[in-house]
């Protein structure tokens, strides 16, 4: 039913309440409303795009490094959902038990082929049982603590002081650009008798996918930065950022006289889980021969430093904790 004022009135079948609403009869009015709606939507979209363009993205580099006011922050490991390269225990960079013979510079290595059992039946795998034939254990009953991504002026001195307090020597896998920035800390590491390890120039997780020449230049540049601080420093090991090993990077590290070093215990301190969780994972996971992955740089590492207050007395009461052999000069 229509009223005299152009309003349509509908009555329900039961004679209940009425619904009213304006009836628009002019097609031109409909087109005008549609055009206005499109113009408003376009203006809103343009305003959003302009505002988004004025907010810069954080600077990043190909080496998975995000710069900040306090220095480089390294994305040390593959993402947690990168299941194709993680073992069930969470160690990234896993290859098949036998490395493919087609990979450059890689000989097939059966996992644990040189292994034996240690005290309490703990497994003692051969030292070259990791991804692409990398070393994962100390090769003896010694437990080795390793610290990656440094040196860092805030955290490395704290780590060195705690190691000194507990009379423990460790292995420091240093990044070339940090060694160049902080030669005094490289000298402090060497002066305390710790072992030095090459960890690439700027923590390039994709380094192993580059050409042999590019890999060689990166590792040589890093070793040169270390030796600029400590001229006679032995550099017996290389550790690939993120554990992203390839046959190429393993081959070049061997060519340059460095053993490719992986690990057996990873508390994932790079995810900043807190001191308690870091300490609990390390203490529960270590067996004779373990190589423990920790970090003294590349982000907020105070949790790692705090965890050492528990890790060091606990491990030294049960094992001999020592740096990996330094090798020849």
b/e per residue 72-101 (b: at least 16 CB within 10 A): bbbbbbbeeeeeebbeeeebbbbbeeebee
Q: Could you give the angle at the alpha carbon of 139 between the alpha carbons of 132 and 308, nearest 5°?
A: 95
Task: Read off the tokens for 147.
Answer: 């610290």
State the chain's maximal CA–CA distance in angstroms: 105
Coil/strand/helix, residue 198: strand
Mind telling me the catalytic residues? Answer: 148, 295
- Quote the CA–CA distance of 71 and 3 in Å, as a whole number: 76
Beta bridge partners of 293: 146
Tell me, what DSSP letter sits at residue 131?
G
Q: Which of 147, 210, 222 is nearest to 181 (CA)?
A: 222
Pairing mode of beta strands 195-198, 235-238: parallel
Tell me, what DSSP letter sits at residue 270?
G
Rg (CA), the chain: 30
Q: Which of 304, 292, 296, 242 is nearest to 264 (CA)?
A: 292
């Amino acid at each position: 039913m229509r009223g005299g004022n152009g309003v349509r009135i509908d009555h329900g079948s039961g004679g209940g309440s009425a619904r009213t609403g304006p009836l628009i009869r002019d097609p031109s009015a409909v087109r005008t409303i549609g055009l206005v709606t499109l113009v408003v939507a376009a203006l809103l979209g343009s305003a959003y795009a302009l505002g988004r363009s004025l907010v810069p993205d954080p600077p990043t580099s190909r080496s998975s490094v995000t710069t900040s006011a306090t220095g480089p922050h390294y994305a040390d490991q593959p993402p947690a959902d990168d299941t194709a390269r993680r073992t069930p225990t969470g160690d990234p960079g896993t290859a098949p038990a036998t490395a493919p013979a087609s990979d450059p510079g890689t000989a097939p290595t059966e996992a644990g082929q040189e292994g034996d059992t240690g005290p309490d039946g703990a497994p003692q795998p051969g030292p070259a049982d990791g991804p692409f034939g990398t070393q994962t254990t100390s090769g003896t009953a010694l437990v080795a603590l390793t610290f990656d991504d440094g040196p860092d002026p805030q955290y490395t001195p704290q780590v060195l002081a705690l190691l000194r307090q507990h009379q423990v020597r460790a292995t420091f896998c240093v990044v070339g650009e940090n060694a160049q920035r902080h030669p005094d800390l490289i000298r402090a590491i060497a002066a305390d008798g710790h072992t030095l390890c090459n960890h690439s120039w700027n923590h390039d997780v994709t380094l192993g996918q580059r050409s042999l020449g590019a890999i060689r230049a990166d590792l040589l540049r890093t070793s040169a930065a270390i030796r600029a601080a400590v001229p006679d420093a032995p550099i017996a090991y290389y550790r690939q950022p993120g554990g992203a090993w390839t046959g190429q990077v393993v081959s070049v590290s061997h060519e340059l006289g460095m053993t490719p070093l992986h690990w057996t215990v990873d508390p994932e301190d790079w995810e900043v889980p807190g001191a308690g969780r870091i300490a609990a994972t390390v203490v529960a996971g270590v067996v004779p021969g373990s190589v423990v992955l920790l970090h003294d740089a590349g982000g907020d590492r105070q949790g790692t430093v705090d965890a050492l207050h528990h890790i060091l007395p606990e491990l030294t009461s049960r094992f001999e904790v020592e740096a990996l052999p330094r090798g020849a000069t």
